[in-house]
Structure 1
């Protein structure tokens, strides 16, 4: 039987707090979503002033990252590089801002952020993940 790491609620809270601090430090109104390795929601927070659609997009970014086991920027780069057929792939979104969370080399979840420029979304997600290091 194999064992795998899973995110605890305490770790999810640490990630969410660190991501929120990064967003607020930069005055970015974003939605932050954290999912487990199967893309199932563990936490969602939409900061004041953030558009409602961003909560949906952040969750889809997190799911895509967790299920695909990579940053969603990789998918965006493929599409921007001319692989437009990839838009019909079963991934949920190909927008930057979904970042997988690895523990001991295994993806245990992902953070998705939406509300500002895609590289800024990814910056917020990475700040949340870095808080676990």
Structure 2
């Protein structure tokens, strides 16, 4: 029988906190989504001042990172015109993005979830998501 680990609500809340702390330090209010390995929402935080338009983008970033098992910014070069992944942004009913800010969360080499961050620049979103993911990996591995 196969068994798998999944992300608990308590762990997802910690990820939200680490991301929100970093976003506050950067003075960039963010929408932060934490999904499980199957792409289902576990926890979400919209910081005061975060753009409401970016809520869906944060969710999509986390969804893509969980499904691809790789950070969204790493996929971008492979989806440019002339590359093998060109057109991938139209996949999955449009619920796919290569915008930076989506990072998978691993425990023991297995994806247990992902974080998606949106409302700042792509670079800021990526920095916040990577920060929270790094602390997650240090804490749970």
1: distance between equivalents of 2:106 and 2:33? 16
State how 1:36-115 maps to structure 2 within 5 Å: 36-80=36-80, 82-83=82-83, 84-90=86-92, 92-115=96-119
Deviation at 1:87, TM superposition (A): 3.0
Task: Give ranges in structure 1 of 5+ residues lacking alignment.
Answer: none
Q: Aligned pair in 2 of structure 1 residues 81, 104: CA closer, same or farther (>3 Å)?
A: farther
Q: TM-score normalized by structure 1?
A: 0.91
Counterpart of 1:6 in structure 2 is: 6
Deviation at 1:81, TM superposition (A): 6.3
Deviation at 1:77, TM superposition (A): 2.0
Deviation at 1:80, TM superposition (A): 4.1
Q: Aligned pair in 2 of structure 1 residues 28, 82: CA closer, same or farther (>3 Å)?
A: farther
Secondary structure at the aligned position of 1:7 is classed as: coil
2: distance between equivalents of 1:14 and 1:86? 32
Counterpart of 2:135 in structure 1 is: 131
Deviation by residue 1:39-77 (Cα, 9 ceiling, x = unmatched) = 100111111111101111000000011011111112222
- Aligned pair count reads 133
Q: TM-score normalized by structure 2?
A: 0.86
1: distance between equivalents of 2:82 and 2:24? 35
Q: Aligned pair in 2 of structure 1 residues 52, 81: CA closer, same or farther (>3 Å)?
A: same
- 8 Å contact from structure 2 (residues 7, 37) kept in 1: no
